[in-house]
Amino acid sequence: MKTESIFRKVAVAEGISYILLIFIAMPLKYWAGLPLAVKYTGWAHGVLFMLYIVFFIMSWMESRWKLQRAAMYLVACLLPFAPFWVDKQLAKDN
């Protein structure tokens, strides 16, 4: 399986985990008094974030993206809905 294909899957999973963390787990922690929601969702998001970075670097090296494109994909992991855009861009290129 091509690294870029794995990167796309990780990007989507990371995006979903980020949205769950911000829009479900955080409100559960602060409004419902359930801190474990953030503990487990945050842990999963952290692992997926690290995988995003690892597969981003591997895909960048394999696909030889230009610096501007790579920078956009790197910044995308910091914004809640941007990993879905990354997946769409990569799908369009293939």
Listed by start position, the domains of the chain span 3-89
User: Per-residue pLDDT averaged across 2-10, rounded?
Assistant: 93
User: What's the mean per-residue pLDDT of the chain?
Assistant: 94
What pLDDT was estimated at residue 93?
82
User: Per-residue pLDDT averaged across 72-87, rounded?
Assistant: 94
What pLDDT was estimated at residue 94?
73
What pLDDT was estimated at residue 59?
95
| 3 state SS of 81 | coil
Q: How many residues does the chain have?
A: 94
CA distances from 23 to 17, 67, 86, 92 (A): 10, 32, 21, 29
Task: Report how far apart the first and last C-alpha atoms of the chain are (Å, whole number).
Answer: 14
In the block, residue with structure tokens 């998001």:
45
The answer on pLDDT for 27 being more than 70 is yes
Q: Taking the CB of residue 91, how many other CB atoms lie within 10 A of it?
A: 11
